[in-house]
Amino acid sequence: MKALCWNGINDLRVERVPDPSILNPGDAIVRVTMSSVCGSDLHLLDGYVPTMKAGDIIGHEFMGEVVEVGPGVKKLVKGDRVVVGSVLGCGGCEFCQTDQWSLCDNSNPNPEILEKAYGYSGAGIFGYSHAFGGYAGSHAEYIRVPYADNGAFKVPEGVTDDAAVFTSDAFPTGFMAADMCGIEPGDTVVVWGAGGVGQMAMQSAWLLGAGRVIAIDRFRDRLAKAKQFAKAETLNYEEVDILEALKEMTGGRGPDRCIDAVGMEAHTTGVEQYYDKAKQTLRLQTGRPAVLRQAIMACRKGGTVSIVGVYGGLLDKFPMGAAMNKALTLRMGQMFAQKYIPQLLDRVAAGEVDPSYMLTHKWGLDHSPEGYKMFKEKTDDCMRVVFTP
């Protein structure tokens, strides 16, 4: 089959690789019909996530048709149209049982790597390095889905593929970002990053009772979409002082809930951008935490900062004093796909949210390296490229 393979920093190639097969009774084989790029993939391309190997298939946000199931699969049959969560959960450990699926004890076959880095290992993730299990990703014609009864969900009739594909990762990540905020009726919620996850965090904030939603980015097309589809007020951080603007917009109080939907490769302005970029390039820090710093400084006293932008290691100039002395609550994590996907499919089916507007480019797999180049450089008003293997 054809697949998009990582072969080094910013080196992606479409290659012929062996078709996947059933390895365990709980596996399913899915013919991939749609597979989306994701901002966290850029960390792989840029070399900030170690343990990638030449030939690894990337991609983790996808849907497709079940073509084969193992003898232990009870909920799926051949022909089912399914969306698959990006994280893998065994279903039986303490964390899966309490709906903290990305913390699964058993789905990462290489736990020793993350144990060294983080103390304990979390779940495996499709197409996201050998530290997260070494699972083949979704930018391919077929994919093996372990623990299929837990991670693959039938798409309701009437929900289009263009909308359903984003319930795999972007929508549940954005929803979890808003959910972790503990939004109370009327709260002001600020979202840094107006890409796919940020857009879904904004829409989710409304669903959970926000009274006001503010989007921060520098790309005019993304801010326009945030205004049009997510009904957010917008700020361009290249045009205004964000901290001063947020104080003014909230009467000097500050926003109640702040969401970092950007992560380790944040862009900012002035000396801070050059400082962070230089330290990250020299591997003196593994992330550029400009957004995280800004969210902590902007958040009102007693407020909440929710972090779903991916971070991999160590950060510099983290404003711990501000977080502690303002009594902020910081919540974060890889998203709990299996907890959120069923309810989000229901919300899409009910017409509450239509994520399909994020799909700006739909290409075949043969053009996937060019698709990532466009996505990374944010040309042609690209928000998400979706491949149709």
Q: CATH code at 225?
A: 3.40.50.720
Mean pLDDT of 83-94: 98
Same domain? For 42 and 129 the reply is yes
Do 181 and 291 have their domain in common?
yes
Q: Supply 49's token pair.
A: 């996530």
Contact status, residue 57 vs residue 16, Cβ threshold 8 Å? no
Dump the DSSP string for 45-61. HTT-S----TTEE---E
Least confident of 253-262, 264-273, 314-323: 264-273
228 and 320 share one domain: yes
Q: What is the CATH number of the domain that holds 365?
A: 3.90.180.10
319: left (phi > 0), else alpha (psi -120 to 50), else beta?
Answer: beta
What strands, in cross-sheet order, belong to the sheet with 56-57? 12-16, 2-6, 56-57
Tens-place pLDDT, residues 140-150? 999 999 999 99
Q: How many domains does the chain have?
A: 2
Average pLDDT of every residue of the chain: 96
Same-domain status, 143 and 250: no
> Do 39 and 68 have their domain in common?
yes
Go through the chain and tell me how many residues it has: 389
Residue 138 three-state SS = coil
Neighbours of 293 (CB within 10 A): 21
Q: Are residues 161 and 176 in the same domain?
A: no
- The answer to whether residues 106 and 92 touch, using CB atoms and an 8 Å cutoff, is yes
pLDDT at 241: 97
Same domain, 115 and 208: no
Q: Reduced to 3 states, what is the DSSP secondary structure of residue 342?
A: helix
Which residues make Cβ contacts (< 8 Å) with residue 356, sequence separation at least 6?
160, 162, 163, 166
H or E segment and range at residue 387: strand 384-387
Give the residue among 229, 247, 197, 221 at the shortest CA–CA distance from 379.
221
Contact 179, 246 (CB under 8 A): no
Whether residue 62 is found in the same domain as residue 110: yes
- pLDDT at residue 271 greater than cutoff 90: no
Does the pLDDT value for residue 156 go beyond 90?
Answer: yes
Residue numbers of the domain that contains 322: 170-332
**Same-domain pairing of 124 and 42:** yes
Shared domain for 204 and 107, answered yes or no, is no
Inter-residue contact 155 to 163 (CB < 8 Å):
no
In 3D space, the residue among 233, 309, 330, 321 whose CA is nearest the CA of residue 267 turns out to be 309
| In contact, 163 and 356? CB cutoff 8 Å | yes
At residue 364, the pLDDT reads 97
Distance between alpha carbon 238 and the CA centroid of its chain, in Å? 24
Q: Are 148 and 68 in contact (CB under 8 A)?
A: no
Taking residues 328-338, report their average pLDDT.
Answer: 98
**In the prediction, which pLDDT does 277 show?**
87
Question: How far apart, in whole angstroms, are the C-alpha atoms of residue 261 and residue 107?
Answer: 25
CA distance 56 to 43: 14
pLDDT band at 284 (very low <50, low <70, confident <90, very high): confident
Residues 57 and 204 in one domain: no
Residues 160 and 225 in one domain: no
**Mean of the pLDDT values across residues 76-83?**
98
